[in-house]
Amino acid sequence: MTLCVCLGLAHAIRLLLEYTDSSYVEKKYTLGDAPDYDRSQWLNEKFKLGLDFPNLPYLIDGAHKITQSNAILRYIARKHNLCGETEEEKIRVDILENQVMDNHMELVRLCYDPDFEKLKPKYLEELPEKLKLYSEFLEKQPWFAGDKITFVDFLAYDVLDMKRIFEPKCLDAFLNLKDFISLSCGLASSSRAGDVVGAQGHREI
């Protein structure tokens, strides 16, 4: 498989590939420096790859060419039965998948907003209430869909980790979320995903 990435959208995909011990080659596209952020490296190839909806990240696995980060996650997860088994698990997976993406994009928009410093206090003020929803959804379960890990746990880990980097103490009031992070890191340490988690001193949002 070939995974091609730009910025931070592929981190959960990378974690899932490593956790499932999948063989893949990663190709990275880079942006130019500010203020222009030249994208020619990607744009020169964008419409030459046979992608139905050319975008980053994308995954090529034999004859399968997939864009959209969550579609890629689901493709990998289906191969390893990580989409939930019962109807209740699948519903929880679907809900959290979309909730995580909403929260991810909210933080991305904030970080790239010219008024970042003005908007940051309001974001931090509202953050505990948003994290409370994650905490209540997780309850006392080890994973967000239930007793078994699913692909949305990698998404949830990714977005919670970004928030923790943004505000290091943001999870202090939510012990089950801290336990979830610890469990995820412990699980990763016993797999190839540990190399990815361990390399998160610098994260791109």
Listed by start position, the domains of the chain span 2-79, 87-189
What residues contact 163, with CB distance under 8 A and at least 6 apart? 103, 107, 127, 131, 170, 171
Q: How far apart are CA 38 and CA 125, in angstroms?
A: 34
* 64-67 vs 2-5, strand pairing mode: unpaired
What pLDDT score does 8 carry? 61
User: Is domain 2-79 annotated with CATH 3.40.30.10?
Assistant: yes
State mean pLDDT over 64-76: 97
pLDDT level of residue 204 (50, 70, 90 thresholds): very low
Q: Which long-range contacts (CB under 8 A, 24 or more apart) does 20-24 make?
A: 20/76, 20/79, 20/80, 20/82, 21/191, 21/192, 22/76
More confident residue, 193 or 154: 154
**Portion of the chain with pLDDT greater than 70, in percent:** 89
What is the second-level CATH architecture of the domain 87-189? Up-down Bundle (1.20)
What pLDDT score does 192 carry? 56
State mean pLDDT over 136-154: 97
Residue count of the chain: 205
Q: Please check the confidence at residue 62 and state whether its pLDDT lies above 70.
A: yes
State mean pLDDT over 101-106: 95
Same fold across 2-79 and 87-189: no
Q: Please check the confidence at residue 127 and state whether its pLDDT lies above 80.
A: yes
